[in-house]
Chains A and B, each alone.
Chain A
Amino acid sequence: MRQLISTADLSRADIDDLMVLADSFAEVQTRDVPKVPALRGRTVVLAFFEDSTRTRTSFDLAARRLSADVLNFSVASSATKKGESLRDTVETINAMGIDAIVVRHRSSGTPIQISRWTDAAVINAGDGWHQHPTQALLDAYTLRQRLGDIDGAKIAICGDINHSRVARSNVDLFTKMGAEVTLVGPQTLMPPDISGWPVTISHDLDSLLSEIDVMYMLRIQTERLSAGLFPTVREYRSRWGLTVQRAGELRSDAVIMHPGPMNRGVEIDPEVASEPRCVVLDQVASGIPVRMAVLYQVLGPGRFANEEAAVDRPDVEESNHSVSPTDGSVEAEPDTKQAMAMKEASCQ
């Protein structure tokens, strides 16, 4: 793992490594000194071209708790305001000798574009409607803590799917981890084409409630109201909001999630947001160990993953070639020797 642009790029092994690492970093959080020297001497730039409080502070803390140096690059004070192009900005930061750039941008595709202009590791902290991979990872981590395993879990994601990078990243990650995902919401807020998505679609929230393990509510943005995508906030709440009544229909061990910031009384009732089944604050807390895991993988051992594959690959190729009898016999010899030696060892 040299960068993190999209949850779609993550292999099952990458995800498992990140979850196991996050467990270790969660333990670090419980110490008197919640800090380890793992990334001492590395510099992480937080380049947030779009407002964000929780993601930015979470990345900031995560990097500091790994002993990395953090450079906060805020758009308000930056040269972009003076008309500098994104490319010039990135190349300028890059020239200062940094190791990672955490990018948040309102345009989809900015992180991958930036990765072409810099040698530093690029971590996507949200780009347009595209992806928000660390949100998906922290959601998965929170769920893993609650449910033990996500494999086979029934997850419903409700709300503005079309404009949501959270929905896209989470669909990728949850399904990769074996969950069954259902997307719920008004047709106007569904993506125009979801034929390639490994999900089912529903336009009836009430019929789903009793059978799901996880109810994931998305934030509804009032800008969508002015765009005419739904008539009124009250109507939205009555059809798609997680009201007290609907929460009553959920199983007693169901998990209620929301990426925040919540619009209490719109997509989720205030009473529901405060009940113990709602894990919004656990999600926030998971953000730090999960982002520590991502930074650690991208800046530390993770960049060896490709080398590892490169070293492993010749072996694979060799064994593929070994269909020819000569190669096969040459290979078989050390194998049998090895097996004999192991047998011997276990006999002694």
Chain B
Amino acid sequence: MAERERRRTPPYGGVFVARSEILDSAAVRRAIRRMAHEIVEANEGLLDTVLVGLQTGGVPFAEAIAESLMEIEGVEVPVGKLDVAFYRDDINLRPVLPEAVTEMNIDIARKTVVLVDDVLFTGRTVRAALDAIVDQGRPRTVQLAVMVDRGHRELPIRPDYVGKNVPTKRTEAVNATVLGVDLGEIQR
């Protein structure tokens, strides 16, 4: 989500240009497996745990974590897909369009919801996601898993599971997919 977000932030346009690779696909896979172990440890049994990937960047990570959880515990954890565009606080400041349609065919009431996103930056997407989640029901707890925490928080939000902490400059950009994590810039 983070990359497209910046693409649509004024002045618009531009492409992500990688400068250095931070994690390759094997390292990403190891990080995902470690996060899955941490999730199991924190939520014994995973009985009432659901994963919710944020559209669209967080979804492949949510699915990958679910796969790892299956391997580790043999439990099938449901995965939802949440788009938070209509909950954002910057609708009047920049063009906010949905990434993809929300698919939440799971009842999250009294569940442990683990929000999953690719990159944690200002925290505003997660803030919007918390509002969106509450509209779907009242979870017992909400946790946050991100592949990359790049700092620069503007809200009191912290992740529970982090794939990799990457110190960045504000002007830089991070592109995180299950195939690897790159640091670079948006060039116009």
Contacts and interface: CB of A to CB of B under 8 A. Distances in A.
A304 B94 contact: yes
Interface stretch (B59-67, B95-103, B144-152): B95-103
Contacts of A311: 10-13
A31 interface: yes
Contacts of A27: 101-103
A37 B12 contact: no
B15 A338 contact: yes
Interface of A: 17, 20-21, 23-24, 27-28, 31-33, 35-39, 66, 296, 300-302, 304-305, 307-308, 311-312, 315, 334, 338, 341-342, 344-345, 348
B102 A300 contact: no
A315 B96 contact: no
A342 B18 contact: yes
Given A37-B86, A334-B187, A348 B12 contact: no
A301 B21 contact: no
B24 interface: yes
A141 to B, nearest CB: 14
Q: Is the interface of A mostly helix, strand, loop or mixed?
A: helix
A301 B97 CA distance: 7
Nearest to B94: A304
A78 to B, nearest CB: 30
Contact of B85 (A17, A24, A32, A35): A24
A300 B96 contact: yes
A37 to B, nearest CB: 6
25 contacts: A24-B83, A24-B85, A24-B86, A31-B135, A31-B136, A36-B86, A38-B86, A38-B91, A296-B86, A300-B91, A300-B96, A301-B94, A304-B10, A304-B94, A304-B95, A307-B10, A308-B10, A308-B12, A312-B13, A315-B188, A338-B15, A341-B19, A345-B21, A345-B182, A348-B21
